[in-house]
């Protein structure tokens, strides 16, 4: 993107105490303004003593409970960095207090989010506000079975599952497997599928949305193509349905509800693509189908593609409608320089402004956004490191004023 403007650059650092974080100053480009920027590493790659393998944490997902002012940060714990070595989901809890977040001592294993001889992947939380229930969706896949193997054999082995919590992650329910009830006979036409990763959405109508993508079955001579779609529920998560998949090539995705100044609601999707640009789509049926889709030529995709996060919010400047934030590596060839973009007219793909905030200037990958605290702060949970983006998952706070 030739017109890319990066006015502020920040560097990922190891976890430090809150008092130390206030003294951390970002690295800046010439002419940019230096300001305090707290960054906390929540999950860090670990060397196994008995083996040369490194335990790796990947695929971040972030949830903020405004009632308890609590963050829940989720990730996959893997035996190595490889997808096929994913194992269990983990969580850390942080409390928002006086403009900062205090994190608990160590991560928790989500032991109920497991099936025998399967690995758990792609955490995707969504909150149902009436019942005050947090759903944590994910997929499980048999150990050793890769996505490529499923696509090559035209045989899905992924399962659609969730667990729930009514006490902000203190306790969790037993696992629920929705595969037979929600996907049913369609699974014969799916080579594989996954949810998210990253957060889901509850719309103002009450509908719950879980972003997802599927590889339809294809002939062995046909190049496999993924298509984004949504799982949705209109009864507070009791039953779920699968929406229609999008026409364009689209993969890992996140969705957001956008509302215009007349109160009209539309579901927006931002998805990974191999076209060189992000894939965007709009649904006027609240996720049952996506009627309008296009390549977002102002949002360059990275290399072979990378997951990105999108989040809608009502700004103080225009509280009657929503704006969009989007987070993704800004380098067009490799996963580095994680940036945040703003769109004040989210119905228009050309409304994306040039990136004005880089929250990690080194290797960086998957991310998830949330709004928190007084509503003026935003948070990002991101993969980042000094030599590789899989070295750790870090938490960052920033303000809208950092972007505008």
Task: Kindly tell me the number of DSSP H helices and DSSP E strands found in the chain.
Answer: 2, 26
Phi, psi of 189 (to 5 degrees): -100, 5
CA distance readout (Å), 394 to 14, 365, 380: 8, 11, 8
Choose the catalytic residue: 57, 341, 366, 391.
Answer: 366
Distance between CA atoms of residues 294 and 310, nearest Å: 16
Distance between CA atoms of residues 121 and 250, nearest Å: 19
Give catalytic status of residue 83 as yes or no. yes
Distance between CA atoms of residues 328 and 395, nearest Å: 15
The H or E element that residue 40 is part of is: strand 39-44
* Residue in the block written with tokens 């035209």: 154
Burial degree of 136 (CB within 10 A; 0-12, 13-18, 19+): buried
Choose the catalytic residue: 83, 102, 291, 354.
Answer: 83
Choose the catalytic residue: 87, 128, 147, 383.
Answer: 383
Query: What contacts 199, CB < 8 A, 6 or more positions away?
Result: 61, 62, 63, 124, 125, 126, 254, 309, 311, 368, 369, 370
Give catalytic status of residue 189 as yes or no. no
Enumerate the active-site residues.
83, 366, 383
């Amino acid at each position: 993107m030739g017109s890319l403007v990066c006015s502020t650059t920040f560097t990922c650092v190891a976890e430090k105490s809150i008092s130390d974080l206030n003294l951390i100053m970002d690295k800046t480009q010439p002419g940019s303004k230096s300001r305090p920027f707290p960054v906390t590493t929540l999950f860090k790659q670990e060397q196994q003593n008995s083996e040369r393998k490194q335990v790796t944490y990947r695929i971040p997902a972030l949830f903020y409970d405004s009632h308890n002012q609590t963050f829940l940060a989720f990730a996959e714990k893997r035996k190595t960095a490889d997808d096929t070595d994913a194992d269990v989901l983990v969580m850390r809890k942080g409390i928002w207090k006086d403009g900062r977040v205090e994190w608990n001592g160590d991560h928790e294993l989500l032991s109920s989010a497991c099936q025998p001889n399967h690995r758990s992947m792609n955490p995707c939380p969504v909150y149902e506000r009436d019942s005050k229930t947090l759903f944590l969706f994910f997929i499980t896949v048999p150990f050793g079975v890769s996505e490529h193997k499923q696509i090559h054999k035209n045989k899905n082995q992924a399962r659609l599952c969730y667990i729930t919590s009514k006490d902000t992650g203190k306790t969790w329910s037993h696992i629920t497997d929705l595969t037979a009830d929600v996907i049913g006979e369609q699974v014969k036409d799916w080579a594989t599928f996954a949810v998210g990763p990253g957060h889901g959405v509850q719309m103002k109508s009450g509908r719950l949305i879980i972003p997802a993508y599927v590889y339809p079955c294809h002939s062995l001579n046909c190049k496999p193509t993924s298509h984004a779609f949504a799982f949705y529920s209109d009864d507070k998560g009791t039953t779920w349905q699968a929406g229609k998949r999008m026409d364009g090539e689209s993969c890992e995705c996140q969705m957001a509800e956008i509302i215009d100044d007349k109160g009209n609601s539309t579901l927006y999707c931002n998805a990974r693509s191999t076209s060189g640009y992000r894939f965007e789509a709009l649904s006027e049926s609240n996720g049952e189908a996506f009627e309008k889709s296009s390549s977002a030529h102002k949002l360059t995709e990275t290399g072979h593609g990378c997951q990105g996060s999108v989040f809608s919010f009502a700004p103080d400047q225009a509280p009657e409608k929503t704006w969009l934030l989007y987070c993704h590596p800004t380098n067009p060839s490799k996963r580095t320089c994680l940036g945040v973009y703003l769109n004040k007219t989210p119905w228009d793909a050309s409304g994306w402004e040039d990136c004005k905030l880089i929250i990690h200037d080194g290797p960086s990958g998957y991310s998830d956004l949330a709004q928190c605290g007084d509503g003026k702060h935003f948070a990002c949970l991101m993969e980042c490191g000094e030599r590789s983006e899989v070295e750790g998952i870090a938490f960052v706070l920033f303000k809208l004023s950092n972007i505008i």
